[in-house]
Chain A
Amino acid sequence: AQSVTQLDSHVSVSEGTPVLLRCNYSSSYSPSLFWYVQHPNKGLQLLLKYTSAATLVKGINGFEAEFKKSETSFHLTKPSAHMSDAAEYFCVVGSLSGGYNKLIFGAGTRLAVHP
């Protein structure tokens, strides 16, 4: 069975410094992986997804993630944080189940950005 673990529940960075949000997954095969962002009192927005193509995936707003099969990781990074990046981020693994793509969510990482 697939599962996903977000290693940090809270991350705090200063504006202009790099962001690293860590995610490990467990799967019996090479899965599809997603990162979603949720700004306060908003819905979830897709940042990027990996679907067995290039292992380095570029997303919106300067975010990217690298799929590392040997480490079963899919960490999210951004070179320089902006105040508007403050939000909750979810790492998600997709799993075909019963005719639909079952999304298995991590518990989330809350990113705080300080001036």
Chain B
Amino acid sequence: NAGVTQTPKFRVLKTGQSMTLLCAQDMNHEYMYWYRQDPGMGLRLIHYSVGEGTTAKGEVPDGYNVSRLKKQNFLLGLESAAPSQTSVYFCASSYNAGWDGDTQYFGPGTRLTVL
């Protein structure tokens, strides 16, 4: 049981390049999330998914796209990377988001630098 895994762990991009971050979970969770973490701030939600084939915008969605083609995977795409997207990206998953005590389980993070 690996929990939530993310690939890659590190990536350096040039401005304008594209990339996809992969998140996978083996806990059969319905809900998945992508966050970014910047210095001095807590995590901010980029996009989330309440089930296979569904996605929705979070707090800071601009410049990102997501897809959830399989229940266990949640992909985050950057079509044209910008320096402002330099950050650490975390994926999370949860079982039942229908109550405010639902626990989210986090992956180890991807450190992205855009030059």
A interface list, Cβ under 8 A from B: 9, 31-32, 34, 36, 41-46, 49, 51-52, 90, 92, 94-96, 98-108
Question: Contact between A32 and B100 (Cβ–Cβ < 8 Å)?
Answer: yes
Number of A-B contacts (CB under 8 A): 71
Question: Contact between B103 and A49 (Cβ–Cβ < 8 Å)?
Answer: yes
Q: In B84-111, which residues have CB < 8 Å from any A CB?
A: 90, 92, 94, 97-109
| Whole-angstrom CA separation of A101 from B48 in the bound complex | 11
Say which residue of B31, B94, B107 sits within 8 Å of A43 (CB atoms).
B107
Of A31, A99, A104, the most chain B CB neighbours within 10 A belong to: A99
Q: Which residues of B contact A52 (CB under 8 A)?
A: 101
B interface list, Cβ under 8 A from A: 4, 31, 33, 40-45, 48, 50, 56, 90, 92, 94, 97-109
Question: Contact between B43 and A94 (Cβ–Cβ < 8 Å)?
Answer: no
4 additional contacts (CB under 8 A) given A42-B108, A52-B101, A95-B100: A43-B108, A49-B101, A101-B100, A101-B101
Interface of A is mostly: strand
| Whole-angstrom CA separation of A96 from B107 in the bound complex | 22
Question: Contact between B99 and A102 (Cβ–Cβ < 8 Å)?
Answer: no
Question: Contact between A107 and B40 (Cβ–Cβ < 8 Å)?
Answer: yes
Contact A105/B101 with A44-B106, A45-B106, A98-B56 known, Cβ cut-off 8 Å = no
Question: Contact between B100 and A46 (Cβ–Cβ < 8 Å)?
Answer: no
Question: Contact between B106 and A103 (Cβ–Cβ < 8 Å)?
Answer: no
Which residue in chain A gives the minimum CB-CB distance to B48?
Answer: A100
Say which residue of B44, B56, B90, B101 sits within 8 Å of A44 (CB atoms).
B90
Question: Contact between A31 and B42 (Cβ–Cβ < 8 Å)?
Answer: no
Query: What 9 A-B pairs have minimum CB-CB distances, sorted nearest first?
Result: A105-B42, A51-B101, A94-B100, A100-B97, A32-B101, A101-B102, A44-B106, A43-B108, A32-B100
Of A44, A92, A102, the most chain B CB neighbours within 10 A belong to: A44
Question: Contact between A94 and B102 (Cβ–Cβ < 8 Å)?
Answer: yes
Contact A107/B41 with A51-B101, A95-B100 known, Cβ cut-off 8 Å = yes
